[in-house]
Every structure is written in structure tokens, then in C-alpha cells.
Amino acid sequence: MITMQYEITLPSDYDMTIIERRVRDRGHMTDTSMGLALKAYLVRTREPGGSPVNQYAPFYLWRTANGMQTFLCGPGFAGLCASFGRPRVASAVGLSFVAGMAHGEPPRFATRTVSSVPSDRALEAELARLGERTARAAECAELHTFASALDPSTWTVVTLALWRAEPAFRECGVEHTDYRVLHVSMPEYDQLREAR
């Protein structure tokens, strides 16, 4: 599994219904993408006490590197680049994955965390800690999907949790980013579940 995300930060007065309409009109195009387990079309909307920015930030779980390559070199990503410029694409190697009790229902919210792995902490210890987080998240009835990955270029662990209702699990002391989910494509999700 490979995770991938790009963040397109938009002006503070940007009409986010434009993004919502774009996803409504085009989101189905990834519903049959080869090698793609899941794509969550994520947004943050600038509001008092909420997100500080307007942002479109899709998150992908790729089953295959070939699927990811085909997407990045294909017309869909080219269209996004034509509209917003070519974004920096962050990718990481999958560590854990669990389909939650609510994976059969559309998720409405997402939570992403990015945490550094201290240079004096053994990776085995970090993986054990992550395994505990995955198990705790899996116990939440509202969980759709929980996935984690390691970016060895920055030694950070990225997690994404999708929820059918307001997030039910947040680890104390871990900084998180909250999103709304506009659409989810899951063409090879079941194959990823079998491979975990």
C-alpha cells in the first residue's frame, strides 16, 4: 500500500462550492481506477474556530505503484494541474490498514495526523505504538477506514481516519487536521482489505 496526498490551498475568499461542484461532476471518474484502493476527496473550509484555510486535499490509498504512476501521468491529474498548478505530492509506504465497522457506509469526515519519529526511538517501538492506535481506532463504531504510512524522507508517520459521523477517536497530544469528505472512490478497497 502507498499513501498519497496533495494539498491545494485556496484564497480566503474562494467560493468552496466550486470545489464541491467539481467533485460532484468529476469524482466518479476514479471509481474504476486500476490499482486504487481508495480516494477520499477531502476539503477544509475557512471559518471562525475551524479551519484557518480553504483547501482541497485528496488522499489516496494505492494498492499498486503502477496505478499511482498511471494516475499522475494521466489526463485527470493533468486537468487538476491545468486548473490549480502542479501541486507537491506527498507519498509514503503503508504500515497499517483496517476497515472499520462503518466501512459499508459513506464517510463524511476525515482526520489526518502527521507525527515525527524521533531519531532516538527504534522503528520497532514506533510500529508497536502505531499498532495500538490502529486497534483503538478499529473499536470505534463510526470508523470507516484507518490507514497509516511512513515517509522515510522525513521520518514521519501519517495516519488517516475516515468517519461516517463526527470523529470519535483522537489521540491526546497528537496534532490533527480535520476535513469534510465530499466523495469516496473505492475501486479495489476489498482487495486491500484482503492483503492487510
Is 116:131 a contact under the CB 8 Å cutoff?
Answer: no
Express the helix, strand and coil content of the chain in percent, nearest 5 each.
30, 35, 35
Residue 99 has pLDDT above 60, yes or no: yes
Residue 93's pLDDT is what? 94
CB of 2 within 8 A of CB of 94? yes
What are the φ/ψ torsions at residue 195 (nearest 5 degrees)?
-90, -5
Residue 170's pLDDT band (cuts 50, 70, 90) = low
pTM value surpassing 0.75: yes
The CATH code for residues 2-195 is 3.30.70.100
Q: Taking a C-beta distance cutoff of 8 angstroms, is the pair 68, 4 a contact?
A: yes
At 193 the pLDDT is 67
Hey, what's the cell of 100?
472499520
- What are the structural domain ranges in the chain? 2-195
pLDDT tens-digit series, residues 113-167: 998 888 888 888 888 888 888 888 888 889 999 999 999 999 999 999 999 988 7
